Structure 1
Amino acid sequence: MSSNSKLKEVALVFFKLGCFAFGGPAAHIAMMEDEVVTKRKWMTRDHYLDLIGATNLIPGPNSTEMTMHCGHERAGKKGLFVAGISFIFPAVFITGLLAYLYVNYGTLPEVAPFIKGIQPAVLVIIASAILKLGKKALKNWELAIIGILVLAASLLGIHEVVALLIGGLLGGLYFFLKSKTRGKTLSSVAPLLLPFFTSETLTHIGTLKIFLTFLKVGSILYGSGYVLFAYLDAELVATGLLSNAELLDAIGIGQFTPGPVLSTATFIGYQLGGFWGCIAATAGMFLPSFLFVLILNPFIPNMRKSRILGYFLDSVNVAAVAVMLAVLVTMSSATLIDWQSILIAIVSILFVFGPKKISVIWVIIMGAVLGYLGIFLPF
């Protein structure tokens, strides 16, 4: 296949995911696994796990960065940018349109029934990915213990990045000491300098200042996109640029639009500076992720070749699966609270785990339709 054909393929795959990827990072990664590993076999499941583990160690939105890694694997550096932009674009476009309606008319569409139906379907998709990735990650009983410890830590409220790093370090050290022969070790670590911009009270916020504010947040944001809201509260609400109600509306937009939840930046950018504020906030938020992935991707095969880093990556991988499981448990307890959501989850299980596999895209659509129909039922 020619390079242009590969780029076109990458664009179509991730644009489609960007249109239907509801449910947060864990769901996005599950849907990606189905598309690029199970269906198209762009890479092995082992390598996909390595990419997940590495992505969890750098700032930025995990699922968006995974699209970039997958694009790079399929079509090189151009594929990295094509995949990331294709995945982000639907969410940014929809969010920008909703921001325009909100700022000019003060209203948002009623989408709660659709989201109520999508959420149980997403839970089943995440469960399917956990089973497949877990089989590859659990290479021995020691890794299983690390996974259990990280799962417990996550459920007890330990930050997911802290749990991942501790799991990776403990596992890497254990397996390195256990091995009889020392392999290649990392001789030096080049520090990654993160852009940092001094916060200031922005009375009249301009396009450049919007860009720098979101560039700062995008450069230091660790964990899932939901951590973004704590940063935005400190950067914007505390300085009087947004009210709590406006931030909550922006969070709602990020929840029910497909693709990365960080498209919330697009909505807030429009609130602060209109069209160009929207563009500046979006560019500032996502630019660091492109740079981080571009820098990191070439080193992942070398990490696997190094004995000590290979042990570390194995441990981080199983920890990442454990974190996904913790997300599934937490989301299930908050979602499966009535007969409608339980029924949609059961139907989704039949679709995802049944003898005839159904595309996860159709599972999402099915959930949305059943959620909408559920509002008309009297009980």
Structure 2
Amino acid sequence: MSDDQSPPGSAHALPRTGLTDLARAGLKIGLLSFGGPAGQIALMHEEFVTRRRWLDNDRFQHALGFCMLLPGPEAQQLATYCGWLVGGLRGGLIAGGLFILPGALLMAAVSCIYVLFGQVPAIEAVFYGLKASILAIVLRALWNLSRSALAGPGLKGLAGAAFVALFLFGAPFPLVVIAAGLIGYLLKSPDASSSSSDPVGSTAPPVPHPWRRILSVGLLAWAAPIVIALLILGRDNVLLDISAVFSGLALVSFGGAYALLSYLAQSAVDTLGWLTAGQMLDGLALAETTPGPLILVTQFVGFLAGWNNPAPLSPLAGGLMAALVTTWVTFAPSFLFVLLGAPFMERLRGMAGPRRMLAGIRAAVAGTILNLSLWFALHTLFATIDERGVGPVTVPLPDPASLDPVLAMLTLAALVLAFATRAGLFTLMGLGCVAGLLTHAAGLA
């Protein structure tokens, strides 16, 4: 394989696209990737499959199933995989990098505003209106993805079971995904293996894959901040602790940002004292209302660690340097996992057993997205959520008195626009920003 590391060729090889076009698409996705993994995955599906037709739905779903098995932010890994499919190694780096960059820059900016000025009403107003748009986008995404991923009653039932396991029983996300893959493999249902345009049993011919070079360069790049901090700033600098904590986090962060919050809070708040529990929640709120993966909350935590422990730098320089190191060591492994594993996963596409297994995983993903969507909707529209437990079942029940009526009306309007008029993402999010500013000016929010 060349240094560009093209995807394995086959009779159904993908058309290649220019890196400039891929960069435009990647930047658009990065700028509009609000709403957590549900909205982000749907946005990528719209750009790569529906609008630009660079990928067919089966290949996209195959990539999604693989990314859900990896630790780290699945949406960023999916962007990297899709970029690799249509643009080779450089395409994967461009698409994955541009998915992160806008959110990382904005998170750095709002982190600075947070520590220097506190809460800014105008920014809060914009984020308030965006919540309604994001809810509508996420629900439309769930509808579109469910129609494409759940080809028959068996997969629909598996998706429902995954949702129940996560929402009512709090089952660990990795166990749900692994169980769904095993069930999909064992069921041998036609709807789990007949959606591909590739003939079942066909595989791509072997293509050399420079995995040794990718592995060595990737590990060196991942370790670079730790080595530089050690050489320049010495052993007692907070950047070393940041590198160690978030490198470890990158290896165990299955299930997205919410699944790792307890681990992160225990390390950053209780053990290391980098920030308070309240600041941790503020960081999560900022990550939810800015573009990019929710795991960017780690950047906010790293920023405050550097701000509070800046020596020998100034607090602002220390915070920004810590934010950069945090983002680097958190996301570098995801690039490495995808660029190492994607070529091998492509060779499994025509094999019936792996196809059934990935179909089961895709069904679990649909159930996971439903769980995340409902969680997001409840915690956005209601200020108080009571957890009611009956045996092993825990049901989150919103307090009706805590409903935000203005936000509920804005969300209803956004849903009408999203489903009835098929308004685009730019339109929905632009109107959300305007609505937020207007409600703030009228004293309604």
Q: Is the 8 A contact 1:213 1:284 kept in 2?
A: no
The TM-score, its normalising length taken from structure 1, stands at 0.85
TM-score by structure 2 length?
0.73
What does residue 259 of structure 2 align with? 227
Given that 1:172 and 1:308 are in contact with CA atoms closer than 8 Å, whether structure 2 keeps it comes out as: yes
Confirm or deny: 8 A CA contact 2:37 2:369 kept in the other structure. Answer: no
Structure 2 contact 184–356 (Cα < 8 Å) conserved: yes
CA contact under 8 A between 1:183 and 1:308: conserved in structure 2?
A: no
Report if aligned partners of 1:176, 1:308 keep a CA contact under 8 Å in 2. Answer: no
Q: Determine the C-alpha separation between the residues in 2 that align with 1:52 and 1:117.
A: 30
Give the one of 218, 238, 242 matched to 1:210. 242
Matched, 1:258 2:294: no
Q: CA deviation at 1:106?
A: 5.3
Q: Which runs of 5+ in 1 are unaligned?
A: 185-191, 198-202
- Contact kept in structure 2, 1:269 and 1:281, CA below 8 Å: yes
Contact 1:270/1:277 (<8 A) preserved = yes
Match of residue 181 from structure 2? 168
- Give deviations 1:227-257, integer Å, cap 9, x for gaps: 3322222222222332323333332332222
Equivalent residues of 1:215, 1:287 under 8 A apart: no
Query: Matched residues, percent identical?
Result: 27
Larger radius of gyration: 2
Match among 298, 306, 311 for residue 356 of structure 2: 311
Count residues with an aligned counterpart: 361
Unpaired segments of 5 or more residues in structure 2?
1-14, 194-199, 203-214, 224-234, 307-317, 382-402
Asked whether 1:153 is paired with 2:165, we answer yes
In 1: Cα distance, 2:99 partner to 2:284 partner: 19
Alignment of 1:18-167 (within 5 A): 18-103=30-115, 105=116, 107-110=118-121, 111-156=123-168, 157-167=170-180
Mapped contact 1:229–1:251 kept (Cα < 8 A): no
Secondary structure (helix, strand or coil) at the match of 1:238 reads helix
Against the structure 1 CA distance between its residues 374 and 159, is the aligned structure 2 distance closer, same or farther, given a 3 Å change threshold? farther
Q: Please state how far the C-alpha of 1:51 moved relative to its aligned partner.
A: 1.7
- For 1:378 and 1:208, the matched residues in 2 are separated by 46
Q: Distance in 2 between matches of 1:48 and 1:132?
A: 13
What is the deviation of 1:134? 1.9
Q: What does residue 237 of structure 1 align with?
A: 269
Aligned to 1:340: 406
Structure 1 residue 303: Cα displacement: 2.6
1:370 matched to 2:435? yes
2-structure distance, mates of 1:23, 1:109? 21
Distance 1:332 1:278, change over 3 A: closer
**AA matched with 1:340:** V
| Cα distance, 1:47–1:173 mapped onto 2, change above 3 Å | same
Question: 1:352 corresponds to which letter in structure 2?
Answer: A
Deviation at 1:348, TM superposition (A): 2.2
Instruction: String of CA shifts for 1:196-223, please: whole Å, max 9, x gaps.
Output: x9xxxxx944423322321111122111
Residue 353 in 1 paired to residue 419 in 2?
A: yes
* C-alpha displacement of 1:285: 0.7
**Preserved contact between residue 42 and residue 145 of structure 2 (Cα < 8 Å):** no
1:25–1:225 Cα contact (<8 Å) kept: no
Q: Call closer, same or farther: CA 1:144–1:366 in 2, change over 3 Å.
A: same
SS at match of 1:303: coil
Whole-Å Cα distance in 1 between the matches of residues 380 and 105 of structure 2? 28
Contact 1:165 1:316 survives alignment (8 Å): yes
Q: For the aligned residues, what is the CA RMSD?
A: 3.1
**Higher alpha-carbon deviation: 146-155 or 130-139:** 130-139
